[in-house]
Structures are given as structure tokens and as C-alpha cells.
Amino acid sequence: MSAKVIDCVAIADEIKNKLQKEIETLKKKGVTVGIATVLVGEDFGARMYRKQIEKFCDEMGVQYTDKNPPADASEEDVVKDVKTLNETDSVSGIIPLRPFPKQISDYAIINAIALNKDIDCFHPYNMGKLTLGEITFAPATPSACIEILDREKTNFEGAEICVVGHSNIVGKPISILCLNRNATITTSHVFTSMAGNLAKHTTVADILIVAAGKAGLITPDLVKEGAFVIDVGINRVKLLDEDGNPVLNDKGKPKSKTVGDVDFDAVKEKAGRITPVPGGVGAITNMMLMRNAVKAAKIQHGID
Ligand code: NAD
């Protein structure tokens, strides 16, 4: 039987409506919810992400502030910019958009963000609190995974969960959030695969959360029958026709499409529940960021 495909867009819309009402109510109390991004230079991926943040701020009536120092800006100047944002009342949350140019260390910028404006939980203090289970802001993508699991009434206690990926911003915090809820966690990563052990861990998981950035990594043989599969990956791949040849656009260039890390069509025949890509975790991630921005604005204005 084919898996239940989780309608993440509907979940995101529902959260969006709720947050929009909350943002309006705060506005009436004189509280502005605002998000600022810090992008140094012109990195393509970071610019795309900035565009997306600007768009959902606009849609939701949230003030957006763009700090975009040039690629040759000094670390000191960017830290100064962050400190200015820390002092700006209409900025509730600050999101550093990486990668930064070589002369700027991630940690210098992240450490400069005020703890109560760190809405994607980059600061080591907030990550430490997350690890201890005393969460101020859980990072957006891991929160989106938890939101999906909660809405599907997951009992975390003792659940066998395998996370594929151990990055500081996705894999690790997802593992910690699940561990805080007393799940049994295996965190696998590229070295697990290189040691030939990935299947050993993924095939016993009732919940498989994949954040590797490798299209097609998870095939049905890596999935337990009936498992809940959450695909965090976002990859651009060439669109192929039935014979495996690239599909070309009007200009003769190969068309591309967005896929996750899971071979969706094949895995959905074995999994019990599955999230799609696109229209999956990413849609909810944006709303988790916005939820944190609202929370930050409330903290900063002493509102419960
Ligand atoms: P990253 O490159 O920092 O980390 C990738 C992780 O995957 C590493 O831990 C690595 O060890 C592991 N990995 C790589 N190849 C592997 C393999 N063959 N087998 C097992 N593990 C392997 O990436 P990231 O920032 O953690 O992002 C992961 C993916 O999630 C990317 O596709 C990214 O675009 C996507 N992402 C999605 C959202 C969202 O909201 N949906 C948000 C952030 C990132």
C-alpha cells in the first residue's frame, strides 16, 4: 500500500494564518515583528534564501531589513552592523546568511547576534540551551520536522529514529530535539555510509529523517516497511525523459527540477508516511522561522 503523503503546504498555511493574526494583534499593541538578514557579498544561494525570506515577510506583514555589506567588508564592520541590528527595535530576529567571505569567520558574526534575536538558534549559548532541553529558539528546519511528527501524533518515547546527516544546523539539532523527547536516536552521516553501515541503521528506524543533500540517497532497501520518512534534502537535478535522456528547454538547455534525498516514488510504496519535496519540510521551515520571530518580539517587549 502506498504511503500517506503528508500535506506540508496545508500545515504551513494553517500556521501562517495563525501567525498573521498574532502579528496583527502585536501591531495593535505597538509591537513590530521584524526580521533582518545579514548577507556579505553576493553569494547566489544566500541571495536566493534572502529573496525567499523577504517574500514571506512581505506576505505576512513583517518588517524586513536587509544588511548587505560588500564582499570585501571587514569582519569588524559586519560585527558592527549586527550590533546595530541588535539595538534596532523593529528588528526582532536576525538571520546570518552564509557562506561569508573568507576574511569573516562565521563565529564572529554569530556570536555578535543578541541572544534574544537569534531566531534560527545559531549562537552557541542557544545551541547549548537546546541541548539541555531549555529551548528559547529551536532552529527552524529541525522544528519543522518535529511539527510534522507532532501533528501525526508521534509518540517519541522509545521510538527508533534514525537521522541521516549531522550538520550543526540540521542533522545534529534534529537528533537533539528527538533525544530530548526520549526517543532512541541514531545519527548517521557520510562516514556511516563510507563504512558501509548506513542500511544497518536506517532499516531498523520507525522514523527516518534524511538531511544529507544527496538526491536519490534513500532507496526502498534502506527503509523499514511502514516507516515514517521525512525528507529534508533539497537538490536540483536534471529532468530526464522515460529513456533517461535530459529534457531540454526552448533554448536547448537541460531542464532541472527540485528533489529531496529520498527516491520518493519508490520509497512511498514501502513507507507508511512520507513528506514530499518540493512542498515538504521547507514550506514549514519558513513558518517556524516566523514563529520564532514572533516569539522574539514578545520576549523583547515582555509579552507572555
Ligand atoms: P551539510 O552539507 O552541512 O550536511 C550534510 C550532511 O549529510 C553531513 O552530515 C554529511 O555527513 C551527510 N551526508 C552526506 N552524504 C552522505 C551520504 N552519502 N550518506 C550519509 N550521510 C551523508 O547540509 P545541511 O545544511 O545539513 O543540509 C542538508 C540538506 O538539507 C541539503 O539538501 C539542504 O539543502 C537541505 N536543507 C533543507 C532545509 C529545509 O527547510 N527543507 C533547510 C536546510 C537545509
pLDDT tens sequence across 133-150 = 999 999 999 999 999 999
User: What spacing in Å lies between the alpha carbon of 122 and ligand 1's midpoint?
Assistant: 16
Classified as helix, coil or strand, 19 is helix
Q: What fold, for 32-118?
A: Rossmann fold (3.40.50)
Q: Whose CA is nearest to atom 36 of ligand 1?
A: 233
User: What spacing in Å lies between the alpha carbon of 166 and ligand 1's midpoint?
Assistant: 8
Q: Quote the pLDDT of residue 1.
A: 78
Q: Please compute, for residue 163, the number of CA atoms within 13 A of its CA located in the half-sphere on the CB side.
A: 24
The predicted-structure confidence for 154-211, as pLDDT tens digits, reads as follows: 999 999 999 999 999 999 999 999 999 999 999 999 999 999 999 999 999 999 999 9
Q: Quote the pLDDT of residue 243.
A: 93
Q: Whose CA is nearest to atom 5 of ligand 1?
A: 212
The predicted-structure confidence for 95-118, as pLDDT tens digits, reads as follows: 999 999 999 999 999 999 999 999
The model's pTM is 0.96
Q: Quote the pLDDT of residue 304.
A: 82
Q: State whether the beta carbon of 300 lies less than 6 angstroms from ligand 1.
A: no
Residues near 57 by beta carbon (within 8 Å), at least 6 away in sequence: 34, 35, 63, 64
Q: State whether the beta carbon of 111 lies less than 6 angstroms from ligand 1.
A: no
**Which grid coordinates belong to 160?**
527508533
Question: Quick check: 36 pLDDT over 90?
Answer: yes
Identify the residue whose cell numbers are 496545508. 10
Domain boundaries, the chain: 32-118, 140-283
Q: Whose CA is nearest to atom 8 of ligand 1?
A: 165
Class of the CATH domain delimited by 140-283: alpha beta
Q: Helices marked H in 60-161 — which ranges?
A: 75-87, 106-112, 124-132, 140-151
The predicted-structure confidence for 8-33, as pLDDT tens digits, reads as follows: 999 999 999 999 999 999 999 999 99
Q: State whether the beta carbon of 214 lies less than 6 angstroms from ligand 1.
A: yes
Contact indicator for 277, 228 with CB cutoff of 8 Å: no
Q: State whether the beta carbon of 212 lies less than 6 angstroms from ligand 1.
A: yes
Atom of ligand 1 nearest to the CA of 189: 21
Q: What are phi and psi of 276, to 5 degrees?
A: -85, 170
Q: How many other CB atoms are found less than 10 A from the CB of residue 266?
A: 15
Nearest-angstrom CA–CA distance, 80 and 132? 31
Q: State whether the beta carbon of 82 lies less than 6 angstroms from ligand 1.
A: no
Say if 32-118 and 140-283 have the same CATH topology.
yes
Q: State whether the beta carbon of 141 lies less than 6 angstroms from ligand 1.
A: yes
**What is the residue-averaged pLDDT of the chain?**
97
- The DSSP 8-state label assigned to residue 242 in this structure reads T
